[in-house]
Structure 1
Amino acid sequence: MRNAPVSEGTPVGVFVGLATLDVIHRITEPPGPNEKITSTAQFVAAGGPAANAAVTFAALGGRATLVTALGDDPIAAMIRADLTAHGVGIVDAAAGTRRAVPVSAVAVVESTGDRSVISADAVTSEASPPADLGALVAGADVVLVDGHHPRIAGAAVREAAQRGTRVVVDAGRWKPVMADITAFATDVVCSSDFRTPGADSPEATAAALVGGGVRTVVITHGGDPVQWWSGGESGSVPVPVVEVVDTLGAGDAFHGAYSYYSCLDGRGVADRIDRCARVAALRCSVVGPRAWLSKLVGEQIRK
C-alpha cells in the first residue's frame, strides 16, 4: 500500500500515546465458556488509538510521527515494522530498555463487524518524555494525545499550548490524566460512552468540556449522527450508510482524519466531521486492519 504523496505544505502531526501489537481473529460467533473455535481469518498489525490515528493521517497525505514507549522487546520490532511500512515515524521514549509491550487479543464477529478487545494499556505508564519532544511539537501543525503514557501526554499538550498549536484529545473513556490534558485541548473528540466526572449524558459531558475552555467538542455515536459544539454553535452531521464488516479501529481512523482535516484551511467543523465520518465508514466497510488504506487514497476523500 502506498501512502498519498508527501509534498511541501503537507500537514504535520505528532501523535502521543499507545502502540500495541494486535492479533486479530474473525469469527462466526463468540466462543462459549471453555470452548475452542477456529477463526475464518487472522491478521497481525500495530494497534492502539494514537498509532492507528497516525496511520490514517499518513495515508491521507500527512507527515505523522508517533511518540510512544516501546523498548527493545521483539514484539516492539513487529510494531515498528508495521508502522514504518505505513509511513509513520516513531520516537520511542523507552529506547534501550526492555519492557512489556501490550499485546491485544481481538475478535471480530463476521455477521456484525463488532469487535471485542482484551489488552493491557499504558494509562499508568511512567515513561518520561523524550528529549526532543519540544522540537517535535514545534514543527507540528497538530498534536493528538490519547491519554496513555500520561507523563508524555502532559508534556506534549503543555508544549503545544505554549506554541498555540492545535491539541486534539482522543477521549474514548475517562482516565485520570484527562483532567490535565483536556485543560490544554483545543479539540476533544469523544465517543458517546465518554463521560466527564459527574456528567450523565453526552450533552452534559460536552457542556463541561466547553465550560472548561475547550474550543470544539465532537461526540461520535457509531452509525448515528455525530454531534458537535464549537464557538457557541452546535449541530450534528449524519454518517454514511455502509455494510459494516469490521469496526476495529474505526474511531481511531476518525481521530486521525480529524487531525488531518483540521490542518487544512477553509474547513468548517461540519465539513471536517463529514469527511472524517466518510473515512471511518470506509474503515468499517473493509475487512482487516490495513486493506482499507489503499481504498482511502483511491476514494480521494482527502481532496
Structure 2
Amino acid sequence: MRLVFVGLATVDLVQRVDRVPGVDEKAEALSTEVAAGGPATNAAVTAAALGAEVTLVTAVGAHPLGDLIRADLADCGVTLLDAGPHATAPPPVSAVTVLDGTGQRTIVSRNARDVAVGVPEGLDAVLSTADAVLADGHHPALARAAARSGRPLVLDAGSWRPVFADLLPHAGFAACSAAFRPPGERPAEAALRALGVRRGAITHGPGPVRWWSGDAAGEIEVPPADAVDTAGGGDAFHGALTVAVAQGADTVEALRYAVSIAAVRVRHRGPRSWLAALRG
C-alpha cells in the first residue's frame, strides 16, 4: 500500500508539566522531547507504523533545524519529498505543552503561513502511484496538486483556509474538526455537502464522530480512553483513516478503525513512544 501525505512539517518541542504557567510565571518541565510534527507529518508517521509505504511532501529546507525533521522521518520509515530543499530560513517550530495530570495540550505555532513553495519535480510521479493521498491544506500549491492527481483524497480539515474551496470538490473523504467553519451561515455538514463532499465526518474530541456518506448519516461513539497525552491524537486519526480509505473500507468501518488508532495514541506519553504499540 502506497500513501502520500501532503502538508505541514514542523519541529515540535514537547514539554510535559505538572501545571501550565500563567503570565510572567515559570514552570519546570517534567520531560522534554523533540520530534517532527504537523498534521500531515504526524499522519504520515502513523500510517508508516501501520505498515504503509509512505511519502511526505512538504517544505523542510536547508536550515540546521531541518535536519531534526529529516532524521526523525527516516527513523519512522517515512520518505521525504522536500518542495523547498534550498530554503535557508528555519522550518516552522511548535511549542507543545502537555499537562501531566490530564494529557491536555497547549500549542503555540507559526505554521507555514510565510512559506511559499511550488510543486517539486517528481511530485506527479509520486502521486500517480498512490493508493490514497492526504492533504492538510498547508502549502496550497502542493495541496492543489494532490487534489488534481485523481487519487482517492482524504482532507484533514482542522480549520478553514481559503485553499479548501479548491480542495473540497475533489475530496473522497473530508474529515473535519468541530472548529472547521466554511464561510457562510450553514452548519459545517450542510456547507460541505453543498460544496460536493459526498463522504465526510466531523470529530468532537472525545465526543461522538458525526459522519455522512451519500444520503446516509449517523454518529460513532468514541470509546472512553485513559488519556495521558492528547497531542497528535487527531493526526493519528487522519493517518489511520487514510490507511482505511486506501484499503477500500466503508465509511463506518474506516472511522471505527481511525478512532481505535487515535485511542492508542492518547494512552501513551510523548510523540513517538506510542508507535511501538502499533508495530507490535
Please tell me whether residue 280 in structure 1 is matched to residue 262 in structure 2.
Answer: yes
Supply the AA of the counterpart residue of 2:107. V
CA RMSD of aligned residues (A): 1.2
8 A Cα contact 2:64 2:90, kept in partner: no
Indicate the residue corresponding to 2:9 in structure 1: 19
Show structure 1 runs of 5+ residues with no match. Answer: 1-10, 299-303
Report the Cα offset of residue 124 of structure 1.
4.9
Indicate the residue corresponding to 2:33 in structure 1: 43
Alignment of 1:174-189 (within 5 A): 174-189=160-175
Report the Cα offset of residue 98 of structure 1.
1.2
Please tell me whether residue 190 in structure 1 is matched to residue 176 in structure 2.
Answer: yes
Among 69, 74, 94, which residue is 2:59 paired with? Answer: 69
Supply the AA of the counterpart residue of 1:233. A
Report the Cα offset of residue 150 of structure 1.
0.8
Indicate the residue corresponding to 1:269 in structure 2: 251
Among 190, 194, 198, which residue is 1:211 paired with? Answer: 194
Indicate the residue corresponding to 1:289 in structure 2: 271
Between stretches 46-55 and 209-218, larger displacement belongs to 209-218
CA 1:199–1:260 in structure 2 vs 1: closer, same or farther (change >3 Å)?
A: farther
TM-score by length of structure 1 reads 0.90
Secondary structure at the aligned position of 1:15 is classed as strand
> How far, CA to CA, are the matches of 2:43 and 2:185 in structure 1?
27
> How far, CA to CA, are the matches of 2:231 and 2:155 in structure 1?
19
8 A Cα contact 1:123 1:175, kept in partner: no
Indicate the residue corresponding to 1:5 in structure 2: none
Alignment of 1:8-157 (within 5 A): 11-157=1-147
8 A Cα contact 2:96 2:106, kept in partner: yes
Indicate the residue corresponding to 1:7 in structure 2: none
Q: How many equivalent residue pairs? A: 280
Secondary structure at the aligned position of 1:37 is classed as coil
- Runs of at least 4 residues off by over 2 Å: none
Indicate the residue corresponding to 1:253 in structure 2: 236
Q: Deviations over 1:232-256 (max 9, x none)?
A: 1011111121111100000000000
Secondary structure at the aligned position of 1:194 is classed as coil
Report the Cα offset of residue 33 of structure 1.
1.4
Supply the AA of the counterpart residue of 1:25. Q
> How far, CA to CA, are the matches of 1:252 and 1:199 in structure 2?
28
> How far, CA to CA, are the matches of 1:191 and 1:169 in structure 2?
11
Q: Deviations over 1:133-155 (max 9, x none)?
A: 11011010111111111111112
Report the Cα offset of residue 270 of structure 1.
0.9
> How far, CA to CA, are the matches of 1:47 and 1:184 in structure 2?
26
8 A Cα contact 2:144 2:167, kept in partner: yes
Secondary structure at the aligned position of 1:98 is classed as coil
Show structure 2 runs of 5+ residues with no match. Answer: none
Report the Cα offset of residue 96 of structure 1.
2.3
Please tell me whether residue 227 in structure 1 is matched to residue 210 in structure 2.
Answer: yes
TM-score by length of structure 2 reads 0.97
Identity score, percent:
46
> How far, CA to CA, are the matches of 1:263 and 1:108 in structure 2?
32
Q: Deviations over 1:3-30 (max 9, x none)?
A: xxxxxxxx21111110001001101111
Secondary structure at the aligned position of 2:90 is classed as coil
> How far, CA to CA, are the matches of 1:100 and 1:85 in structure 2?
21
> How far, CA to CA, are the matches of 2:274 and 2:145 in structure 1?
33
